[in-house]
Amino acid sequence: MSWLRALKGTARSGLAVERKRLEPVGAARGALGLALVVGVSLALFGPAVAVSSAFGAFQAAIATFQRSWRPRPTLALASGASLAVSTFIGYLTAAHDGLFLALLLLWTFLSGLAWAAGPTAGLIASSNVAMMLVTVTLPTSVATAAGHAAVIFAGGLVQAALVALVPVRRWGAQRDALADALAAEADYARRLRHDPVAPFDPVPLMTARNAAAVTPRQARRRPPELHGSRGLAERIRPVLASLADPAGGVPGEGPQRARVRELLDAAAAVLDAAAHAVRHGEPVALPAPALDALRTPDTGSVLTGPPRRAATRLAALLGDVLETAEPHGETPIRTGVSRSRPTLLRLAPIVLAQVRAELRHESPVLRHAIRVSVVTAAGYLLGTVLPFGHGYWAPMASVMVMRPDFSQTYARSVARFGGTLVGVGLATAVVRSAHPGTYLSAGLAVLCAFGMYLLMRTGYAASQVCVSAYVVFLLGTAGEGVDQTVRERVLLTLLGGLLAMLAYAVYPAWETPRLRGRLADWLEAIGRYASVVAAGYADPAGPADPEVREALLRTRAARVAWQEALERAAHEPVRHRGLSHAAVEQAEHALGEFGRVAMLMEAHLPDRGAAPLPYAAALAEALRRSTERGAKELRERGEPDWAELRETADAWSGAPPDHFLLHKGAVLLLESLDELATALSETTPSRR
Check pLDDT > 80 for residue 380: yes
The residues, ordered by sequence, that sit 6+ positions from 346 with a Cβ below 8 Å of its Cβ are none
Rounded CA separation 486/431 (Å)? 11
Neighbour-count burial of 171, counting CB atoms closer than 10 A to its CB (0-12 exposed, 13-18 middle, 19+ buried): middle
The residues, ordered by sequence, that sit 6+ positions from 219 with a Cβ below 8 Å of its Cβ are 338, 340
Rounded CA separation 668/657 (Å)? 14
Q: What is the pLDDT of residue 328?
A: 53
pLDDT average, residue stretch 413-421: 88
On average, the pLDDT of the chain sits at 85
Q: What is the pLDDT of residue 211?
A: 87
Q: Is 332 or 417 the better-scoring residue by pLDDT?
A: 417
Q: What is the pLDDT of residue 372?
A: 95
Which residue pairs, CB below 8 angstroms and at least 24 apart, start in 307-313? 307/242, 307/243, 307/248, 307/249, 307/250, 307/256, 307/260, 309/604, 310/239, 310/242, 310/243, 310/248, 310/603, 310/604, 311/243, 311/260, 311/263, 313/239, 313/603
Where does the pLDDT of residue 653 fall: very low under 50, low under 70, confident under 90, or very high at 90 and above?
A: low
Q: What is the pLDDT of residue 369?
A: 95
Min mean pLDDT across 141-150, 341-350, 423-432, 469-478 is at 341-350
Check pLDDT > 90 for residue 448: yes
Q: What is the pLDDT of residue 661?
A: 58
Q: What is the pLDDT of residue 297?
A: 57
Alpha-carbon distance values, 688 to 577, 596, 638 (Å):
20, 35, 10
Check pLDDT > 90 for residue 323: no
Which DSSP string corresponds to 126-193? HHHHHHHHHHTTS-SSHHHHHHHHHHHHHHHHHHHHHHHHS-SSTTHHHHHHHHHHHHHHHHHHHHHH
pLDDT in tens, 531-545: 999 999 888 887 777
Where does the pLDDT of residue 2 fall: very low under 50, low under 70, confident under 90, or very high at 90 and above?
A: low
Check pLDDT > 90 for residue 33: yes
Q: What is the pLDDT of residue 1?
A: 61
Min mean pLDDT across 169-178, 308-317, 321-330 is at 321-330
**CA dihedral angle for residue 570, residue 576, residue 580, residue 584, rounded to 10 degrees:** -50
Question: What's the predicted TM-score (pTM) here?
Answer: 0.83
pLDDT in tens, 108-143: 999 999 999 988 899 999 999 998 888 887 777 888
433, 42 Cβ separation under 8 angstroms: no
Best CA proximity match to 279, nearest among 338, 223, 232, 331? 223
Rounded CA separation 273/294 (Å)? 15
Where does the pLDDT of residue 654 fall: very low under 50, low under 70, confident under 90, or very high at 90 and above?
A: low
Q: What is the pLDDT of residue 485?
A: 63
For residue 96, the SS3 value is coil
Q: What is the pLDDT of residue 659?
A: 59
β partners of residue 340: 214
β partners of residue 214: 340
Check pLDDT > 80 for residue 201: yes
Check pLDDT > 70 for residue 50: yes
Check pLDDT > 70 for residue 331: no
pLDDT average, residue stretch 499-514: 90
Where does the pLDDT of residue 298 fall: very low under 50, low under 70, confident under 90, or very high at 90 and above?
A: low
For residue 644, the SS3 value is helix
Rounded CA separation 562/554 (Å)? 12
pLDDT average, residue stretch 410-416: 88
Rounded CA separation 632/626 (Å)? 10
pLDDT in tens, 249-284: 778 888 888 888 988 999 999 999 989 988 888 888
Rounded CA separation 484/311 (Å)? 71
Q: What is the pLDDT of residue 337?
A: 46
For residue 323, the SS3 value is helix
Rounded CA separation 366/376 (Å)? 15
Check pLDDT > 60 for residue 335: no
Rounded CA separation 307/264 (Å)? 12
pLDDT average, residue stretch 565-581: 80
pLDDT in tens, 588-606: 999 999 998 898 888 888 8
Best CA proximity match to 431, nearest among 465, 494, 463, 474? 474
Q: What is the pLDDT of residue 329?
A: 46
pLDDT average, residue stretch 328-338: 42
Best CA proximity match to 246, nearest among 682, 556, 671, 664? 664
Rounded CA separation 594/555 (Å)? 11
Rounded CA separation 541/249 (Å)? 25
Residue % of the chain over a pLDDT of 90 = 34
